[in-house]
Chain A
Amino acid sequence: MSEKSKGTTQTAPPAETSSTPRAPSAKELAWDKNTLQPTLEKSPERQQEFTTISGHPIRRLYTKADLPNWDPETDLGFPGDPPYTRGIHSTMHRGRLWTMRQFAGFGTADDTNQRFRYLLAQGQTGLSTAFDLPTLMGYDSDHALSEGEVGKCGVAISSLADMEVLFDKIPLANVTTSMTINSPAAVIWAMYLAVAEKQGADWKKLSGTLQNDILKEYIAQKEYIYPPEPSMRLVIDTFEFGVKNTPKFNPISISGYHIREAGSTAIQELAFTLRDGLEYVEWGMRRGLDVDEFVPQLSFFFNAHSDFFEEIAKYRAARRIWHKAMVERYKSKNPRSWALRFHTQTAGCSLTAQQPYNNVVRTAIQALAAVLGGTQSLHTNSLDEAWALPTEFAATIALRTQQIIAHETGVTNTVDPLGGSYFVETLTNEVEHGAWEYIDRIDAMGGMVAAIERSYPQREIAEASYRYQMALDKKEKIMVGVNDFVSEEKSLDVLHIDETVAHRQAERLSKLRADRSNDEIARRLSALRAAAKGKDNLMPFIYDAVKSYATLGEICDAMRDVFGTYEEVAIT
């Protein structure tokens, strides 16, 4: 770890690291000589080296010798207290189970509204909205580039009129809603707030989460519209608006999920996500926001991949890093800023198109890791998602998987049941150390926006993803049903979205454009354009445009006019 000083961004390394020399006890040395070595001579181990799915080396056995300076009182601590290794609440899942929040969205707003109401009737405790690609890219359903994509990967939302249908008969005052939208997040959020207002819900009591994490779009998922600078301004506009108007709503979900899906290692996922988090904090402070006013509203989102212990170590390390950064870098005084809250989704990239029923098992194990790692909410993938959006049948099994973990396995009976395990504590330390090394490197580049412009995280992820593919090709890593244990199977009945969705959306849009006051739209949009050229918070201007039924595409275009669009340097 470097000890370099960079003004307020200096952060001390964790107390103990993987580089501390190992000093086994006399008993351990005797065991090695008398028990282990004779066994190894007779029957060597299956592999020369054992590594996690991320390629992180794992020892044969972990003992006290792996935690030389480790102090359970300070490094582990107690749940609900800093450094939050054991969880952010003192009673964790004994007090309250995690929110079971299944991501759903397909076809038209009406199709998705029906799925939402079905999931709530099945005992799901929060909503999570998937938008289609045109919506994610800020195009209306009838735009030329939307052809073939409407309603396919999520629900098509082109205006407030669609949003009203999406949440019809769903009381937004009582249901927490997450919305996976990034570049046009401010616009979609304005639509949501407008629906809430129409329902008579008090904004101050609204609870939910906007994904709104543009940095990971440049890094991994690539659904960006504008260049980084104006995109970050929009994000901070939502923070500022949220502090004043929606104190219980998370204006951002800082996401490692997509970074991992793009092929990163667990350590890269952790490091890039938390460094993104620090970037948002710094931009918020530069706007003049008080750290302890807006940081408590920031939430996180991690992947749950298949390497069970590595994932648990990742969640535990995440909490420790965030606490340290908030206290040491930003001098935060509010414990609510220190406690990292996160949503988890099981790993889509671990699902196999082959033998899809095996995905139920993968998802259950991944979900268990998230629960043991102390997640606040969870999405479990459906068995058919390597092929398509899930059918109702598959989505129900995925929800039932969480209910089985919560109510049958007993893992919720005690807080952080793996705490104190030599292995888990060592791995937590190593993952934390690896993440700090990346964070230091990105600090040295001048922060995450600068690192993205140099394609640094993009390259690191591409390298890791290629290494993993080569390991699969050489069968150094096994995916059951893909590169080993292959068998014939019959194909699965999957959800099919046909082109009638696009036609229905196009008809709705032309009716909307005919029925609304287009003069008012023009006025609202030119006010937004003028504001975008200045420094004002854009949320009120976007809200006004949304309320007059300007479409998503029109509003995003108004900002395209001022901000321009972003093109990445394609690396391979």
Chain B
Amino acid sequence: MPEKKIRVLIAKPGLDGHDRGAKVIARALRDAGMEVIYTGLRQTPEMIASAAIQEDVDVIGLSILSGAHNTICPQLMKLLHDKGMTDVTVLIGGIIPAADIPALKQSGIAEVFLPGTSTQDIVEFIHKRIPRQ
């Protein structure tokens, strides 16, 4: 029986509409053999958490460029925790000042990918973290 593909939810929280990064990552992960669901724009933490549960994903990738990460991420992590979704790997890509990274990781974010990260690095990170396929 073929192994189940890694399932990834790419989400764009907040009011920002700059979706270039989210779309590139969605396509790169799909090209790397993963099952990718893209939420579209302006997702609240509640919408992202429900989509993650409904789609039973292994990974949530958040694209945040607007500076709202310190508000959005703790809310999302709390929701995931409350809903018992503690085994999902949550990644952030975007513009995140170095000073904010330790607190984000402490809240359970697995990794923060800054501008200029190659798509291969992200694919490799996910494969290492979820060793299947």
Task: Across the interface, name the chain B residue whose C-beta is closest to A353.
Answer: B115
Q: How far is the CB of B25 from chain A (nearest CB, A)?
A: 9
Chain B residues with Cβ below 8 Å from A352 are 115-116
Cβ-defined contact, B41 with A570, below 8 A: yes
Distance between Cα atoms of A387 and B70 in the complex (Å): 15
Asked whether any CB of chain A lies closer than 8 Å to the CB of B27, the reply is: yes
Cβ-defined contact, A153 with B16, below 8 A: yes
Residues of chain B from 19 to 44 with CB closer than 8 A to chain A in the complex: 19-20, 22-24, 26-28, 30, 36, 38-42, 44
Cβ-defined contact, B20 with A261, below 8 A: yes
**Which one of A1-9, A141-149, A409-417 contacts B?**
A141-149
Distance between Cα atoms of A223 and B19 in the complex (Å): 11
Distance between Cα atoms of A232 and B77 in the complex (Å): 40
Q: How far is the CB of B96 from chain A (nearest CB, A)?
A: 9
Distance between Cα atoms of A442 and B30 in the complex (Å): 29
Distance between Cα atoms of A147 and B71 in the complex (Å): 7
Chain B residues with Cβ below 8 Å from A529 are none
Asked whether any CB of chain A lies closer than 8 Å to the CB of B118, the reply is: yes
Chain A residues with Cβ below 8 Å from B93 are none
- Given A153-B16, A491-B98, A497-B67, A567–B118 Cβ distance below 8 Å? no
Task: Across the interface, name the chain B residue whose C-beta is closest to A468.
Answer: B24
Cβ-defined contact, A152 with B98, below 8 A: no
Residues of chain A from 219 to 261 with CB closer than 8 A to chain B in the complex: 221-224, 261
Task: Across the interface, name the chain B residue whose C-beta is closest to A133.
Answer: B15
Contact of A465 among B24, B30, B68, B115 (CB under 8 A): B24
Distance between Cα atoms of A567 and B28 in the complex (Å): 24
Asked whether any CB of chain A lies closer than 8 Å to the CB of B18, the reply is: yes
Query: Most chain-B Cβ atoms within 10 A of its Cβ — which of A465, A469, A481, A567?
Result: A469
Chain A residues with Cβ below 8 Å from B30 are 572
Cβ-defined contact, A221 with B40, below 8 A: no
Cβ-defined contact, B118 with A388, below 8 A: no
Chain B residues with Cβ below 8 Å from A82 are none
Interface size class on chain A is 35 or more
Cβ-defined contact, B18 with A473, below 8 A: no
Asked whether any CB of chain B lies closer than 8 Å to the CB of A63, the reply is: no
Asked whether any CB of chain B lies closer than 8 Å to the CB of A36, the reply is: no
Chain B residues with Cβ below 8 Å from A261 are 18, 20
Asked whether any CB of chain B lies closer than 8 Å to the CB of A184, the reply is: no
Asked whether any CB of chain B lies closer than 8 Å to the CB of A494, the reply is: yes
Chain A residues with Cβ below 8 Å from B40 are 567-568, 570
Asked whether any CB of chain B lies closer than 8 Å to the CB of A522, the reply is: no
Chain B residues with Cβ below 8 Å from A145 are 15, 42, 44
Asked whether any CB of chain B lies closer than 8 Å to the CB of A263, the reply is: yes
Asked whether any CB of chain B lies closer than 8 Å to the CB of A386, the reply is: yes
Distance between Cα atoms of A139 and B42 in the complex (Å): 13
- Given A147-B71, A148-B70, A570-B38, A469–B24 Cβ distance below 8 Å? yes
Distance between Cα atoms of A470 and B24 in the complex (Å): 9
Asked whether any CB of chain B lies closer than 8 Å to the CB of A113, the reply is: no
Asked whether any CB of chain B lies closer than 8 Å to the CB of A483, the reply is: yes
Contact of B19 among A136, A139, A222, A567 (CB under 8 A): A222
Cβ-defined contact, A483 with B118, below 8 A: yes
- Given A261-B20, A354-B116, A572-B23, A388–B67 Cβ distance below 8 Å? yes
Distance between Cα atoms of A494 and B67 in the complex (Å): 12
Cβ-defined contact, B38 with A221, below 8 A: no
Task: Across the interface, name the chain A residue whose C-beta is closest to B95.
Answer: A387
Cβ-defined contact, B118 with A472, below 8 A: yes
Asked whether any CB of chain A lies closer than 8 Å to the CB of B114, the reply is: yes
Cβ-defined contact, A148 with B71, below 8 A: yes
Chain B residues with Cβ below 8 Å from A175 are none
Chain A residues with Cβ below 8 Å from B114 are 353
Contact with B along A490-525 (1 / 0, CB 8 A): 010010110000000000000000000000000000
Asked whether any CB of chain B lies closer than 8 Å to the CB of A466, the reply is: yes
Cβ-defined contact, B66 with A482, below 8 A: no
Name 6 interchain pairs, CB-CB below 8 A, sorted by A.
A133-B66, A148-B68, A148-B70, A221-B17, A352-B115, A466-B24
Taking Cβ atoms with an 8 Å cutoff, the residues of B that contact A are: 10, 14-20, 22-24, 26-28, 30, 36, 38-42, 44, 66-68, 70-72, 95, 97-98, 114-116, 118-120
9 closest pairs, A vs B, by CB? A222-B17, A148-B71, A570-B40, A148-B68, A572-B26, A133-B15, A152-B67, A482-B116, A353-B115
Q: A133-B16, A152-B67, A567-B40 are in contact. List 11 more A-B contacts (CB 8 A).
A: A148-B71, A149-B71, A153-B66, A221-B18, A465-B23, A465-B24, A466-B27, A483-B116, A570-B41, A571-B23, A572-B10
